Amino acid sequence: QVQLVESGGGLVQAGGSLRLSCAASGRTFITDDMGWFRQAPGKERELVACISWSGRSTYFTDSEKGRFTISRDSAKNTVYLQMNSLKPEDTAVYYCALDIQLAAMTARYWGQGTQVTVSS
């Protein structure tokens, strides 16, 4: 019943910026936490950031702190990830997630993923 659609990924040079967006549709709840995971080739999936229904944001990786900003438009069930000063290590498939479960570091619903590639 729930679908998440990401957009905004692409190929950028180091130091560039991208803004990812994710729109949730279907039978979702405004109170659900939303956020972004990423998975680089051959690496484990990691939670980048999440944001609560009230707008409280949390960042989970050290590398993106100060460079990434998560925001949410709860009325539209849309979450954004502004990524600045991108580095090659940020290269990954980024997945939008809804109803994040921190204990298991997973989520109930996932987007299809959007590729972010940062060249040196």
Q: What is the tens place of the pLDDT at every residue in 49-63?
A: 999 888 899 999 876
16: confidence class by pLDDT, cuts 50, 70, 90 = very high
Which residues are CB-neighbours of 19 under 8 A, at least 6 positions away? 8, 80, 81, 82, 83
12: confidence class by pLDDT, cuts 50, 70, 90 = very high
How do residues 82-115 score in pLDDT, each as one tens digit? Answer: 999 999 999 999 999 999 998 899 999 999 999 9
pLDDT at residue 28 above 80?
no
